[in-house]
């Protein structure tokens, strides 16, 4: 049985079946958390329709592994405090070279600068619309 109250444009629901994660609010909180910790070159890729992995990718980089940890921690804290959302899965916390925070419909990629250049996710998903996030 499916929950008919879920929005049609949202691919997954949160663990709490009574509500659906709002990707736009989630992205706003995530990008603010990234900016708070000086993440660099933040972009949001709309991959909806290109993959079933997620609707959006948020990609950024940092210069040091300590900064990568601080950025990931801040994203976790802010999404939990502001939206009650926790990452469904996390990868890369030990090495802190490429941390992935998976919020199901939004996946956050926090790279060390040289790894971001090497893997070039923006080029891999070049059919996706890209929105650059700038500090105001």
Q: Helices 65-83 and 23-36: crossing angle, nearest 10°?
A: 140
Q: pTM of the prediction?
A: 0.83
Q: What does the mean pLDDT of the chain come to?
A: 86
114 SS3 class? helix
Between these two residues, 25 and 10, which has the higher pLDDT value? Answer: 25
What is the reported pLDDT for 135? Answer: 81
Dihedral of the CA atoms 49, 92, 64, 67 (nearest 10)?
Answer: 80
The percentage of the chain sitting over the pLDDT mark of 70, rounded to a whole number, equals: 85
Dihedral of the CA atoms 136, 93, 50, 22 (nearest 10)?
Answer: -60
* Predicted confidence (pLDDT) per residue in 51-75, tens digit: 888 999 999 999 999 999 999 999 9
What is the reported pLDDT for 21? Answer: 56
- Range with the poorest average pLDDT among 3-12, 37-46, 54-63: 3-12
Residue 25 CA to residue 12 CA, distance in Å, equals: 15
Residue 78 CA to residue 4 CA, distance in Å, equals: 29
What is the reported pLDDT for 5? Answer: 41
Is pLDDT above 60 for 11?
A: no
* Predicted confidence (pLDDT) per residue in 88-123, tens digit: 999 999 899 999 999 999 999 999 999 999 999 999
CB 56 within 8 A of CB 106: yes
């Amino acid at each position: 049985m499916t929950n008919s109250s879920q929005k049609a444009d949202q691919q997954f629901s949160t663990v709490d079946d009574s509500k659906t994660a709002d990707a736009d609010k989630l992205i706003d909180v995530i990008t603010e958390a990234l900016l708070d910790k000086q993440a660099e070159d933040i972009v949001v890729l709309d991959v909806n329709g290109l993959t079933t992995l997620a609707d959006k990718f948020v990609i950024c980089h940092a210069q040091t592994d300590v900064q990568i940890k601080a950025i990931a921690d801040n994203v976790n804290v802010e999404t939990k405090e502001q939206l009650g959302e926790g990452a469904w899965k996390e990868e890369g916390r030990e090495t802190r070279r490429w941390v992935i925070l998976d919020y199901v419909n939004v996946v956050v990629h926090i790279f060390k600068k040289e790894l971001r250049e090497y893997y070039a996710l923006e080029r891999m998903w070049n059919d996706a619309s890209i929105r650059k996030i700038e500090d105001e």
